[in-house]
Structure 1
């Protein structure tokens, strides 16, 4: 999940501005952000690319590749690049997003200005216009939120509290595709294929209820304790802005309640363990396994009263939160629910609310100096809520079919290379190899954009109701997901929009998606030579393929079922390689007091190691018969590894980096670049010798696939 809270209303996860990669790599979301006096100078959106597609000016050749390959490839860029004032980080994804954001802005604003626009484009224009109507929002004050606050005030007992909990349930988490486990509502639900029977859909029930990104912020000392104190001040300020009496005492009780919720929450590592998460419950089990809430009332309010079975991902947390519903004072729960309703709605309320939300989530939590311009927030939210409507227009105007064709050809080559790597594994038995081949042979890949587009006909959007539009959009998406229950499983849903700069592996479907927007420099450049493209987008493609065989993906068979297809001896060897890789990454320390969590990041790191090796194989296979050319002073393999390292360049503000290390399943870009230490060809390409800082003895290099 992302290191900042994911709030569909308050911190809309941008369908344009994403930064990460992996089986579900959603990066840190950018909260709506408030103005600050002096913005840092914006970095150039386009590096100075050499003739063959990589940034020679961005290198630092005074650094030896074997001592610090990341700085060798990116040192010049690191010295010259400033993080924009309205961002907590800046990386290759952000660089692409600046251009993509302008393109999407043109589409969205054109729809808003076109009075003759109809259908989905009319909705796109009206959603944007409603959010941009600052005067109208200011005039309404908190009145648009009054019905929800009145419903919370009317809670009188456990039954009506259960009713409110159930009515708030939304499809706002994604366990296996986007690794998004965060919801500030008491619980979240993800509706997808059953891990035990992917021919049917089930609801996955997920822990929630925290305002801070993770339980550790409530339970640890140091900076976490400081953030918790600042959060309590934020809660108080939000209540005061809404005119709620006795705000200081209520804020203290709300944070104390969230601390109790944090105590029952599963950890990040536990939550990322798919086998621990596979807990089938019947609806009747909730009353016996999680007593406290009136579960029939909850299910009725959530639209799930006819659903017989669920998968409960964190059963102890669900039981713990249910118990807290009756052991904590009812008035405290009502204050808690009122605060979160206001906080969640803040971007759609008067400016003081949006500014306060940024002051905490953007500035205090992530170190971002300045709030993003309102039009940027409006574009992001519109593109998120009406993603495929915007995406359809984006594809028509900006996506070259030839780019799609070339990317599909690269995917085919890299999939074939992975198959050859399976054949070459000396430690794997024929039985396990056959099962692995069945999986790779059945892998489905979607590139650029969907064949059919989502229908937004049932979504009501008004040009003068920003908060109502956001609330109806959440409910629309929830009902769309509920409709999957009992329906035939479909394998054509896109979990990312074409304008999303990312990629995803879908383990329950044995399927990959590569949206159009990532097929841009520095990941994919039609003018770059093959070595650079295979190092950049090729390693991304290899990464996503390899997610089907990482420590989580390897537990699913070719149909997407959670099923052990390994011989015991082979799985023991595979697990040992994973443990070695986890230990390797856990030795990296972004801060003196904070190390990379190699266990939390293991799936992504396996995918990086295997994906990079596979893409290099595919590049070599694609060059059969072609002479190896030295270009701009670099051999093909050197250009390949430079393409990889420059794709992962990035800078963080300290606060954001700390949050990412604590909560993100991806290692920061500098450490992802360290993957090269496990690739023999990198040592040969750059003459890396014993005694250099990055050198690993051959027996210490981790080979997973």
Structure 2
């Protein structure tokens, strides 16, 4: 319109004429203005009365609400803009199922046009412009359209939330002493200059405190088992074997909180090849030379003369490759029923005598009482081979004084402490990782520091996330989702009564809850937990050593309490009769107490439902008929709507695809039913862009399902199936092909409507 010269000329002429004073017409114009104003007020009052009556009689699911008043929070603002980008594609009802997670149907090339359609339709131009501006301000500039509308993965969202907590300014007395220590640790970790100033000196000082090593003069010939126990307990370093705390696997253990010590293979620094024909492992030969060279570089950084490196690095590589010969993949051990053997510590001492097992385990789990009669789970083939190798090397090199076993332990300690040393050590480790085939980008320092802080301050950080993000609203969402899930599973058609009875009993006996019992601590209890931690603002190396001690204490708490902190967990897990929903799932943009409930249930509600189905029913397609029948119905519906062979074509579904389609669709149904429960209790729920609640819920679900696996089509199509014949869906969402052979209602569980 602005480019039309005639129109432009009229606008200019009118403006010029209005600028000229006209005293004679002032009173006439004023009376006319009063008449128009009076009529406008009367019309507005009449309109408000009609609108109020319609609002009272309208279906609350389809009614439209003003945008939420909680836009002051930054987290809310970010998601407000992100959700808007996915809401807009629903205004084109016959192609919105082509939404492709940032491409295709969701391309933002038409975003301006689609936003205009919504604003004209809803008569909320001002709100829409504000929302678009908010989205532009809060999203990163310069990104492509596809990147602009993509949700972050759950792991990224969680670590960024932890980073925000650790970087948040201290607010006087409201912050606990424990949280102050976590913030201080993170700050010293992100200070890259501190380690550069001291170089290798901190490690060399620690090395002397441990009695030196054979690579340099002054080794005090420390006892093998004494040094090993010290490294594992105080420095979280496990050179020859790893030690974990686990609940024994198996359905029969569902009702038990019993945890066991598990002794397994260590983490080797180089890739291992498995020969399925000979059923043996060996170190990959192409990586041995780079591994040897990295050893020499470490010794050079520690000031060891070059003429001393050849022998010690050669022995180090030889011992490592010898130990690796007994490594076996988990799938092979499982097939041979050799995954783990259960022994008492006394029995293990007889089978693998080179290690003083009782002394080592007592040191690792102090102050817990560990006795000879305690049961442990053992990867026996490797442990026996490891013990035999240590015994042979002790005899072979005892008279020579080369001490390869001690050197091996110190190198393991060095690898543990590399994150606290100057960049030369880290770059040496990084160079070998690249040489051994690691193609991943280098992790930014802040992310490494978040992970380190979480290792030591896991309980504190989970408490902080829970206080900031996941309180009463989170508990309600979990309860609603699980209640709807029970209703969904009760309605399934099982293949036999035995499967039905077992699964339903299992589902009803489980108690879903937010996080672990030991995570909901008061400030006083948290301060007591970290009271022995004393941090130095200028000495990150010392702080890092304290973090390793905290990690050991966390391991001991797990064994004693039978429950563990969530850490950076983003998926539910089973502990005894409980399904633990980690608080790490309840972070922005997936959840926030200030979001409309439709957003929370559409995003996180559907994710939790999907995770629970995967966790509790990993092979549901073998136990019930619904996954096959419903997924095939959805497939037929998809083919009938996308009948253009040049675009889609014909396809069939594998068993894994059938199950995943059913899981995703069931998660949508369960989350929707859960939101209906919530809406009954809280009908005052807010909305965005004046959209109906169900519209907002479905938009949120579509946005968050881009991480679905094994799906033969975009998960957004499931909304098409749900809405084809559903009275809950807004009219613009209907797009039904009359020629379809399978009515969409056949694909839906009637119990959820």
Q: Identify whether the pair has TM-score above 0.5, normalized to the shorter chain.
A: yes
Question: Would you say 1:311 and 2:382 are equivalent positions?
Answer: no
Q: Shift of residue 283 of structure 1?
A: 0.8
Preserved contact between residue 188 and residue 208 of structure 1 (Cα < 8 Å): yes
> Unmatched 5+ residue regions in structure 1?
1-43, 84-88, 174-182, 555-569, 582-597, 650-668, 690-694
Q: Shift of residue 324 of structure 1?
A: 3.1
Q: In structure 2, what is the Cα distance between the partners aligned to 1:171 and 1:533?
A: 43
Q: Shift of residue 379 of structure 1?
A: 5.0
1:671 to 709, 712, 715: 709
Q: In structure 1, what is the Cα distance between the partners aligned to 2:263 and 2:666?
A: 32
Of stretches 434-443 and 163-172 in structure 1, the one that deviates more from structure 2 is: 163-172
C-alpha distance after superposition, 1:7-52 (max 9, x if no partner): xxxxxxxxxxxxxxxxxxxxxxxxxxxxxxxxxxxxx998785696
Quote the residue 2:178 is aligned against.
120
1:615 to 671, 674, 678: 671
2:421 to 307, 331, 349: 349
Q: Which secondary structure state, in structure 1, belongs to the residue aligned with residue 242 of structure 2?
A: strand
Q: Which secondary structure state, in structure 1, belongs to the residue aligned with residue 503 of structure 2?
A: helix
Q: In structure 2, what is the Cα distance between the partners aligned to 1:477 and 1:347?
A: 15
C-alpha distance after superposition, 1:371-428 (max 9, x if no partner): 625x6644553344223445555666x44xxx63333222122111221233122225
Q: Shift of residue 436 of structure 1?
A: 3.4
Q: In structure 2, what is the Cα distance between the partners aligned to 1:143 and 1:72?
A: 56
Preserved contact between residue 211 and residue 220 of structure 2 (Cα < 8 Å): no
Q: In structure 2, what is the Cα distance between the partners aligned to 1:407 and 1:342?
A: 42
More helix by share: 2
Question: Would you say 1:472 and 2:529 are equivalent positions?
Answer: no
1:191 to 238, 245, 269: 245
C-alpha distance after superposition, 1:197-253 (max 9, x if no partner): 8354432223213125876799999xx877776555444433332234454665565
- For 1:426-575, what aligned pairs fall within 5 Å after superposition? 426-427=493-494, 429-430=496-497, 432-441=499-508, 442-446=510-514, 450-452=520-522, 454=526, 455-482=529-556, 489=561, 494-496=565-567, 500=568, 502-515=570-583, 518-522=586-590, 526-528=594-596, 530=598, 532-546=599-613, 548-551=615-618, 573=623
Q: Which secondary structure state, in structure 2, belongs to the residue aligned with residue 94 of structure 1?
A: helix
Question: Would you say 1:237 and 2:304 are equivalent positions?
Answer: no
Quote the residue 1:211 is aligned against.
269
Preserved contact between residue 234 and residue 360 of structure 1 (Cα < 8 Å): yes
Question: Would you say 1:169 and 2:241 are equivalent positions?
Answer: no
Q: Shift of residue 101 of structure 1?
A: 1.8
Preserved contact between residue 414 and residue 541 of structure 1 (Cα < 8 Å): yes
Q: Which secondary structure state, in structure 2, belongs to the residue aligned with residue 169 of structure 1?
A: helix
Q: RMSD between aligned alpha carbons?
A: 6.0
Preserved contact between residue 602 and residue 698 of structure 2 (Cα < 8 Å): yes
- For 1:273-352, what aligned pairs fall within 5 Å after superposition? 277=339, 279-290=341-352, 292-296=354-358, 298-299=360-361, 301-302=363-364, 306-312=371-377, 314-327=379-392, 331-352=403-424
Quote the residue 1:382 is aligned against.
453
- For 1:122-141, what aligned pairs fall within 5 Å after superposition? 122-128=180-186, 130-131=188-189, 137-141=195-199
C-alpha distance after superposition, 1:79-133 (max 9, x if no partner): 54679xxxxx9745425644652342124xx49xx99998424533553454456
Q: Which secondary structure state, in structure 1, belongs to the residue aligned with residue 471 of structure 2?
A: helix
Quote the residue 1:55 is aligned against.
86
Q: Which secondary structure state, in structure 1, belongs to the residue aligned with residue 530 of structure 2?
A: coil
Q: In structure 1, what is the Cα distance between the partners aligned to 2:580 and 2:317?
A: 40
Preserved contact between residue 190 and residue 203 of structure 1 (Cα < 8 Å): yes
Q: Shift of residue 537 of structure 1?
A: 0.4
Higher relative contact order (CA 8 A, sep 6+): 1
* Change in CA separation of 1:53 and 1:97 when aligned onto 2, cut-off 3 Å: farther
* Change in CA separation of 1:484 and 1:66 when aligned onto 2, cut-off 3 Å: closer
Quote the residue 2:65 is aligned against.
none
Q: In structure 2, what is the Cα distance between the partners aligned to 1:126 and 1:602?
A: 50
Q: In structure 2, what is the Cα distance between the partners aligned to 1:515 and 1:123?
A: 21
Q: Which secondary structure state, in structure 2, belongs to the residue aligned with residue 343 of structure 1?
A: helix
> Unmatched 5+ residue regions in structure 2?
1-74, 109-138, 398-402, 632-653, 725-734, 749-753
Q: In structure 1, what is the Cα distance between the partners aligned to 2:84 and 2:340?
A: 45
C-alpha distance after superposition, 1:464-504 (max 9, x if no partner): 4423332333234324543665x5x466x5333xxx57243
Q: In structure 2, what is the Cα distance between the partners aligned to 1:275 and 1:679?
A: 43
Q: In structure 1, what is the Cα distance between the partners aligned to 2:106 and 2:212?
A: 52
Q: Shift of residue 541 of structure 1?
A: 1.6
Question: How many residue pairs are counted as aligned between the two chains?
Answer: 569
Q: In structure 2, what is the Cα distance between the partners aligned to 1:272 and 1:528?
A: 47
Q: TM-score when scaled to structure 2? A: 0.58
Q: In structure 1, what is the Cα distance between the partners aligned to 2:657 and 2:291?
A: 27
Preserved contact between residue 129 and residue 464 of structure 1 (Cα < 8 Å): no
